[in-house]
Amino acid sequence: MTAAASTSGSAAPRRGRGFLAPTILPGFGTAFGFTLFYLCLIVLIPLGHMVLVAAGVGWTKFWAITLAPRVLHAFYISFGCALVAALVNAVFGLIVAWVLVRYRFPGRRIIDAMVDLPFALPTSVAGIALTAIYAPNGWVGAFAKAAGFKIAFTPIGIVIALVFVGLPFIVRTVEPVLQDLDAEVEEAAASLGATRWQTFTKVLLPAILPALLTGIALAFARGVGEYGSVIFIAGNIPAVSEIVPLLIVARLEQYDYAGATVIATAMLGLSFLMLLGINFLQRWTRSRHAR
Amino acid sequence: MPADPHSRRPAVGEGPLTRVALIGLAILFLAAFLALPLAAVFSQALAKGVGAFMKGLTDPDALQAVKLTLTVALIAVPLNLVFGVAASWAIAKFQFQGKSLLLALIDLPFSVSPVISGLVYVLLFGLHGSLGPWLRDQGVQIIFAVPGVVLATVFVTFPFVARELIPLMQEQGVEDEEAAIVLGASGWQTFRLVTLPNIRWGLLYGVLLCNARAMGEFGAVSVVSGHIRGKTNTMPLHVEILYNEYNFVAAFAVASLLALLALVTLAAKAALEWRFADQIAAAKR
């Protein structure tokens, strides 16, 4: 808060000649004013208000709520499952992106369009569909049951839901970078005697890596906060398969507003740290690919 | 695809065996994670025959949910459309201090858990919230009522149109608009006759994605709606209620309608990307 106030304060004296670069186009005041007004009304004031409510709970109670074993376990499940899902997506998302960019085969365009399905399909629909497949009496769940293990109602089920949700993030961040790769670099590596695998690990992968990391971070951030697609398949057993968003909803339904607010604010803080990380990664990506 | 030197395929590549294996692996993965859930939705919806499927769809509560979902999208999408146009005009056509901060703040709703997006409004407008008692005295109900559902949806779909328009308008620059102004056009004429034709497909693209999310949002809406059947239930919430009542056929019947909407969205999105690739920012990213 104080840091933001001091930056805008130092900019204020120069506002007259420095805030807006000279232009002949009209409408900046209206457009900028409305943007700021709407942003504050819908996003900033409600979010800031929640942080204030959480601060009103008090430091000791804040930590008592966040460090309770059930809450800590929910954080562990949410972040752990999101990380595993993001890593699974990193491998398969990279393969999908590679295949879509490099190869021509029948149905490629349909597959390319289908990659965005998790963006377009409502999360509750994805949730009940995945549960129907992986529950012990479902298409895949029945096989798992015969083999002696459970998928739905365990953290494995959560990971599956988060893989579904996160897939497009990886594919869509890696695709443009793969498209922009210089053909000459690969040809040079091959003519210098590198095997295809060496070319991939030593030449291509380092170029793709920044985008891949950004994609992983985006999928991870989305997975941590995901609610709809997870709650059906998770079974929501406290200290086993309970995620943080569900815990927030549960507190709210018990009219424990302080508890819900504190857990939500802690989660928001962690999300911000991840956002900073994503921005850092994107800047890194851009600086490495600056032309 | 344009003849870009970078998009030339390398003369070297994987052997045919590796190619087939990689394509097979990708298709297998996508079949398991994308096609299978879609197939599950439709097969479960029709598991007890067409009659049961239709019964689930024509139930008065289901129809009410469809109506509410359409109403909410009809309010939330235009609001965010106006915001998106205003924000992209300010950000893409002008240079000012703090632009990157503003961009980051516009993206904020993407990194907030849907559940938190609902919670912030409960804390403000709920009966136990800061403005709750005052609102109750005025006879206004926001939480557990339609206005709350609209607010939560607006929050969640906030960045969609702006995110599509800003890069597009940045790329198009300001020369056309400056020429129009110099030739004596008013600001509104410039926007309507010069800017709008250049951004219309990008605008449609953003609206399409915004609408899909608005109609499908679950977590944020779930927190503020109160799940009142026939009143504050949107389609995704109705799916949950039916499912939790073990009324699977009806749940999947309503879900299949939403899945159909998702498929139509994807088809329209792909069509826009193929036909107007040069006029859509997202297609180039």
Work out the number of other CB atoms within 10 angstroms of the CB of residue A18. 12
DSSP B115-166: HHHHHHHHHHHSTTSSSHHHHHHHT---TTSHHHHHHHHHHHTTTHHHHHHH
Q: How far is B86 from chain A (nearest CA, A)?
A: 5
Q: How far is A185 from chain B (nearest CA, A)?
A: 9
pLDDT band at A3 (very low <50, low <70, confident <90, very high): very low
Chain B residues lying within 8 Å of A43, measured CB to CB: 105, 108-109, 155, 158
A153: left (phi over 0), alpha (psi -120 to 50) or beta: left
Kind plus residue range of the DSSP H or E element containing A206:
helix A205-225
Predicted confidence at residue A289, as pLDDT, reads: 57
CA-to-CA dists, residue A92 to A87, A120, A155, A164, A181, angstroms: 9, 20, 20, 11, 20
Predicted confidence at residue A291, as pLDDT, reads: 44
Q: How far apart are CA A90 and CA A166, in angstroms?
A: 10
Give the mutation candidate from B30, B72, B115 for the A interface (greatest A CB count, under 10 A). B115
Contacts of B259 (CB under 8 A, 6+ apart): A121, A125, B38, B41, B42
A&B contacts, CB < 8 Å: 306
pLDDT band at A2 (very low <50, low <70, confident <90, very high): very low
pLDDT tens string A71-82: 999 999 999 999
Q: How far apart are CA B237 and CA B226, in angstroms?
A: 10
Q: How far apart are CA B234 and CA B245, in angstroms?
A: 17
Name beta bridge partners: A20: B96
pTM: 0.88
pLDDT tens string A14-33: 445 578 888 888 889 999 99
The three-state (H, E, C) secondary structure of B25-43, written as one string: HHHHHHHHHHHHHHHHHHH
Q: How far apart are CA A240 and CA A234, in angstroms?
A: 9
A130: left (phi over 0), alpha (psi -120 to 50) or beta: alpha
pLDDT tens string A95-127: 999 999 988 888 898 999 999 999 999 999 999
pLDDT tens string A172-190: 999 998 988 888 888 888 8
Predicted confidence at residue A229, as pLDDT, reads: 92
Where do we find the tokens 């097969």?
B43
pLDDT tens string A218-233: 899 889 999 999 999 8
Query: Is B96 strand, coil or helix?
Result: strand
Name beta bridge partners: B96: A20
pLDDT band at A285 (very low <50, low <70, confident <90, very high): low
Q: CA-based angle A70:A76:A78, to the nearest 5?
A: 100
Q: How far apart are CA B76 and CA B151, in angstroms?
A: 8
Kind plus residue range of the DSSP H or E element containing B256:
helix B248-275
Does A25 sit within 8 Å of B37, measured CB to CB? no
pLDDT band at A13 (very low <50, low <70, confident <90, very high): very low
Query: Is B280 strand, coil or helix?
Result: coil
B98: left (phi over 0), alpha (psi -120 to 50) or beta: left
Phi, psi of B134 (to 5 degrees): -65, -45
Predicted confidence at residue B2, as pLDDT, reads: 45
Q: How far is A107 from chain B (nearest CA, A)?
A: 10
- Which of residues 6 through 35 in chain A touch B, CB cutoff 8 A? 8, 11, 18-21, 23-28, 30-32, 34-35
Does B10 sit within 8 Å of A186, measured CB to CB? yes
Give the mutation candidate from A121, A131, A214 for the B interface (greatest B CB count, under 10 A). A121
pLDDT in tens, chain B (285 residues): 444 555 566 767 788 888 899 999 999 999 999 999 999 999 999 988 888 888 888 899 999 999 999 999 999 999 999 999 999 999 999 999 999 899 989 988 988 999 999 999 999 998 888 888 898 898 888 889 999 999 999 999 999 999 999 999 998 889 999 999 999 999 899 999 999 999 999 999 999 999 999 999 999 999 999 888 878 899 999 999 999 999 989 999 999 999 999 999 999 999 988 888 877 776 544
Cβ(A226)–Cβ(A86) below 8 Å: no
- Closest-approach residue (CA) in chain A for B186: A26
Q: How far apart are CA A233 and CA A247, in angstroms?
A: 15
Candidates B18, B96, B236; nearest CB to A20: B96
Candidates A21, A113, A232; nearest CB to B266: A113
DSSP label at residue A6 = H
Phi, psi of A121 (to 5 degrees): -80, 125
- The CA radius of gyration of chain A, in Å to the nearest whole number, is 23
Cβ(A132)–Cβ(B43) below 8 Å: no
Predicted confidence at residue A10, as pLDDT, reads: 39
Q: How far apart are CA B85 and CA B112, in angstroms?
A: 23
Kind plus residue range of the DSSP H or E element containing B82:
helix B60-93
